[in-house]
A and B are shown apart, each in its own frame.
Chain A
Amino acid sequence: MTELSALWVYLSASPILSIVITIAGFLIASRINKLAGGSAFLHPVIVAIALIVAFLSLVGTSYNQYFEGAQFIHFLLGPATVALAVPLYDHLERVKQMFWPLIIACISGILTAALSTIAIVMMMGGSRETVLSLTPKSVTSPIAMGIAEKIGGYPSLTAGLVLVTGAIGCVIGPILFKALKITDHSVQGFTMGLAAHGFGTAQSFTVSSLAGAFAGLAMGLTGMLSAFILPLLVRFLGV
């Protein structure tokens, strides 16, 4: 027994354990999602987070200990964000064609998402940290976390809430499109990518490749513009 606990002490100090837990948790979560028919409520990322949090609480490992190893996976978010330039470049022709409608819709969407969030949280008496962590909720995670850090929210809280937002958008979006009689797939895709980032993009690709391409475009454009607009907006509002 003492040998076993000595081994555990050694393992929990090494980055390998965190990395193994993260990848294993994600693979199990993907399997669970597939079994549930790919439901947006059981998105692999959200299930993986729940599994890993449960495991860490069970064995009494703190988040800091876990992150010491998991940061090697986390680090890749930086180059992955830079990599978003490639799909954006691929759709450059479409962007040029619909440039102004897309820019106007994008900026309106970003302002609507941020202002409605700030207003609702403040009206319901949420704390300042909650407001600032929620403001970038519609922005794709790597960028949203950077924004949260810049404006004074908690990046880790933002990351989790961004993921929940994505799942909510995937549930509400199709219902709204039907109610508003929006049938154009490029409009549907762009709207999903703006409000529900990567989750919306993944779902749009199941509708049609046109919807998916526009969702990816909206995700990149929203991320880029939000990174410039939201810090200025928060400073301007004096939140």
Chain B
Amino acid sequence: MRLLSRTDRVVITLMVLVPLLLVVGLVWLPAAATVLLSGTDWDGIGPLGEIDWVGWRNYDDVVSNYPPFVPAVQNNLLWLAALFVVATPFGMFLAVLLDKELRGSRIYQTALYLPVVLSLALIGFVWQLIYSRDQGLLNGVFGGDTDWYGDPNVNIWAVLVAAGWRHVGYIMLLYLAGLKGVDPSLREAAAVDGASETRTFFRVVFPVMRPINIIVLVVTVIESLRAFDLVWVINKGRNGLELISALVTQNVVGEASRIGFGSALATIMLAVSLVFITLYLWTVMREEKR
């Protein structure tokens, strides 16, 4: 510490304090307030002093007296599985292909990344044109009358296709950036040793890319936990498209103002996220110790 001048110390203190205040003020305080509110029946009207404490009643209602909750949990899990098993590996696969310097690779990149750039409103509109039962492209071309958005057994898959469409582009770009950073001499060495392309990828490139792999994994988990926008645009997260995030919004935002109840849902979501965050941090820290 003796090496640090007075100015240094002031700068360091500021650099620690400002982010700390931001994190506490913008993340931890609201999170704590959400947890507190989840034990009340506040409806957003009246002074804070008049809030009644109802204990676990909101949680009890969520689990036993709120039909959309169970489908929402199932859909969130399904979302995670679909992204993890299909969309993420497919995005990585495309990245590997594009890394081969194919002719027109820029065009493919742009085409695949475009969905990530498009605004949400536009994406909702694009898929409405495709999926609409009476006027949509899919039923128009194939002459079917599948109710893509309305049939609760079908619509979650229809939306997963749309979500995957976006997710693939995102993962592709992340992974492509990582691949470009892999030292070419590693591949050359593998080639000299007579390893096939597949073998080179799984035995050499993939392990080297570990940091990127972890990022991709985390992005996948985060994307599936906070999945919200597409279902909200389609039908506000109802009728087969329930997601916890959409239920929170339905209850808290807007005129409904079931703030206590919505906070209980948000707290449940927070708890689930914490499980994944803990797992991730634990892995990363164990990594660093080694």
Answer yes or no: are A and B bound together in one complex.
no
Binding site for A on B (CB under 8 A): none
